Amino acid sequence: MLSGKTILVGITGGIAAYKICELIRMYKRANANVLVVCTPNALNFVTKLTLQNLSQNEVAVEEFDVKDFKPEHISYADRADIMVIAPATANTISKIARGICDNLLTSIACAFTKPVIIAPAMNCNMWENPIFQENLHKLHYEILEPESGYLACGYEGKGRLCSLEKIFDKTVEILTYKPLNGKKIVVTSGGTVEDIDPVRYISNYSSGKMGLALADTAKNLGAEVTLITTKDVSRRYNVIKVKSALDMKSAVEKEFENSDCIIMAAAVADYRVKEISPQKMKKTSDDEITLTLVKNPDILKNLCDKKKNAFPPDLLSSAPLIIGFCAESENLIENAKEKIKKKGCDFLIANDISRKDIGFSSDYNEVTVLDKDGNMKKLERADKMTIAKQIFKVIYG
């Protein structure tokens, strides 16, 4: 099932390194070409000779062991279809998150433009360390979280390398499941910023994480992706940075005609200040200040109207899919049903922002997907990358 695919396995210095010998065998039995790169510390747990015999390829360790016209880290990044780092230590994960390239494995990871799977394994206290978790969440890769159980250090908790079957199955899924090949997906994310004066503005608590997860997932599923966001984001697909609702409207409209699907995950401000002060507004002796707000365009509704006017009923199948988001703090389903009817979009993703475990800035979400025919599908609480994959499965089957 992996015939013709080249898998780059990165092994770091953790006790679970010995388990990767069997993972390599699993890949080889599936007819994959397996390349192995180790950190120097990984060889304290598994030998280079063993890995070479199992992979039937030379194992790379040293940073500057250049054998042809290409530096090793670029050569490996170009040759492989996917990179699987397992076990991934807290040290290596934090280095990759911060862009540190002090060995061959981290240099390859920095240069790698194709899918990456990271399977962490470490002591449970290291896993729960907030600084490590911050580094982990900077990565836009496929993270296979460790399992709970008895650890080699004697502790009991979360930190065991996930099952090899899970790593193998995820590799197969990423390399073979490409339902969005040939499609252009446009995603909006983040909360818009509406200026009051040069130092003050109106905005909201949207982190942009759900939109970013959707864009990353679409890319992994084979799509050509454009992300329109209010956040500072660096990705290896097209990213358009905007600020206000009017900026976002203009950017979305430019992308509309050439897109196959537009996902409006951004939290667009309903109102903006009527007159932006060119200078900082000074504090006065008055206890109150009045700002006059005017309504922003309804980007989602405008897109749906544009689609309706541009595509007659017999050509609707070739029109872009339009997916909206509905963030509610009460009466979630009732409000979502009313919104999809009012806006006229193809799908609506409803999420409850009042819950602390899935609200703004959380790395997790729980949503209900509604379609224009009245069907509903609840997606139970999971990390936002998982939710994003499930959303695409609902949309595209």
Query: What single-letter DSSP state applies at residue 58?
Result: P
* For residues 230-245, average pLDDT: 93
Can you tell me the distance from the alpha carbon of 252 to that of 262, in angstroms, rounded to the nearest whole number? 8
CATH number of the domain located at residue range(s) 184-396 in this protein:
3.40.50.10300
pLDDT digits (tens, 9 = 90+) for 290-303: 999 999 999 999 99
Can you tell me the distance from the alpha carbon of 231 to that of 206, in angstroms, rounded to the nearest whole number? 10
- The answer to which of 31-45, 66-80, 371-385 has the lowest mean pLDDT is 66-80
Tell me the DSSP string of 326-357: EEESS-HHHHHHHHHHHH--SEEEEEETT-TT
Amino acid identity for residue 253 in this structure: E
* For residues 44-61, average pLDDT: 96
Distance (Å) of CA 191 to CA 45, 174, 187 = 47, 30, 13
6-176 matches 184-396 in fold = yes
Return the CATH number of 6-176, one of 3.40.50.1950, 3.30.300.30, 1.10.10.10, 3.40.50.620: 3.40.50.1950
Place of tokens 């800035």: 361
| pLDDT for the residue numbered 206 | 93
Place of tokens 């953790």: 14
| pLDDT for the residue numbered 354 | 86
| pLDDT for the residue numbered 72 | 62
| pLDDT for the residue numbered 230 | 97
Asked whether 216 and 222 are in contact (CB, 8 A), the reply is: no
Q: Which residue has the higher pLDDT, 386 or 9?
A: 9
- The answer to which of 58-72, 92-106, 225-239 has the lowest mean pLDDT is 58-72
Can you tell me the distance from the alpha carbon of 204 to that of 272, in angstroms, rounded to the nearest whole number? 12
| pLDDT for the residue numbered 74 | 81
Query: What single-letter DSSP state applies at residue 315?
Result: G
Helix (H, G, I), strand (E, B) or coil at 188: strand
Can you tell me the distance from the alpha carbon of 361 to that of 355, in angstroms, rounded to the nearest whole number? 11
Asked whether 92 and 120 are in contact (CB, 8 A), the reply is: no
From the CA atom positions of the chain, what is the Rg in Å? Answer: 24
| pLDDT for the residue numbered 67 | 60
| pLDDT for the residue numbered 229 | 98
Average pLDDT taken over every residue of the chain: 92
* For residues 23-39, average pLDDT: 96
Q: Which residue has the higher pLDDT, 203 or 65?
A: 203
Query: What single-letter DSSP state applies at residue 93?
Result: H
- The answer to which of 118-127, 261-270, 278-287 has the lowest mean pLDDT is 278-287
Distance (Å) of CA 108 to CA 41, 57, 297 = 17, 17, 45
* pLDDT at residue 33 greater than cutoff 60: yes
- Which percentage of the chain shows pLDDT scores above 70? 97
- The answer to which of 15-19, 262-266, 283-287 has the lowest mean pLDDT is 283-287
Query: pLDDT tier at 73 (50, 70, 90 boundaries)?
Result: low
Can you tell me the distance from the alpha carbon of 77 to that of 190, in angstroms, rounded to the nearest whole number? 31
pLDDT digits (tens, 9 = 90+) for 163-192: 999 999 999 989 988 889 999 999 999 999
Can you tell me the distance from the alpha carbon of 151 to that of 30, in angstroms, rounded to the nearest whole number? 30
Q: From the CB of residue 148, how many other CB atoms can be counted at a distance below 10 Å?
A: 13
Please name the residue ranges forming H helices in the chain: 20-29, 48-55, 72-79, 90-97, 104-111, 124-128, 130-136, 164-176, 209-220, 245-256, 299-310, 332-343, 384-396
- Which percentage of the chain shows pLDDT scores above 90? 78
Tokens of 55: 């992979």
| pLDDT for the residue numbered 70 | 58
Residue ranges of domains in the chain? 6-176, 184-396
| pLDDT for the residue numbered 177 | 80
pLDDT digits (tens, 9 = 90+) for 301-352: 999 999 988 888 777 778 899 999 998 889 999 999 999 999 999 999 999 9
The residues assigned a catalytic role are: 153
Tell me the DSSP string of 249-312: HHHHHHHHTT-SEEEE-SB--SEEESS--SSPPPP-S-S-----EEEPP-HHHHHHHHHHHHS-
pLDDT digits (tens, 9 = 90+) for 90-125: 999 999 999 999 999 999 999 998 899 999 999 999
Asked whether 349 and 377 are in contact (CB, 8 A), the reply is: no
- Backbone dihedral region for residue 360 (phi beyond 0: left; psi -120 to 50: alpha; all else: beta): beta
pLDDT digits (tens, 9 = 90+) for 360-376: 888 899 999 999 999 99
Query: What single-letter DSSP state applies at residue 191?
Result: B
**What residues does 273 pair with on adjacent strands?**
293
| pLDDT for the residue numbered 353 | 86
Tell me the DSSP string of 230-255: SS----SSEEEE--SHHHHHHHHHHH
Q: From the CB of residue 279, how many other CB atoms can be counted at a distance below 10 Å?
A: 8
